[in-house]
Amino acid sequence: MIDAAALLTRARETLNLLLAAIGALAGFCVVVGAVVTAGLVALGRDERAADAALERALGWTAAETARADAAELAALGALAGASAAAAAVGLGWAVARRLAVPFAADWREVLALFVAAAVLPVAVGLVAGAPARRAAVMDALRRE
pLDDT digits (tens, 9 = 90+) for 37-85: 777 777 777 777 788 888 888 888 888 888 988 898 889 888 888 887 8
Is the per-residue pLDDT at 27 higher than 80?
A: no
The residues near 49 (Cβ < 8 Å, ≥ 6 apart) are 131, 132, 133, 135, 140, 143
The whole-number pLDDT of residue 141 equals: 66
**Sign of torsion, CA 120 123 129 131?**
negative
Residue 120, helix vs strand vs coil: helix
**Sign of torsion, CA 136 140 143 144?**
negative
The percent of the chain in helix, strand and coil, each rounded to the nearest 5, is 85, 0, 15
CA distance 33 to 125: 11
Residues in the chain: 144
Per-residue pLDDT, averaged over 102-106, amounts to 85
The whole-number pLDDT of residue 143 equals: 66
CA distance 61 to 137: 12
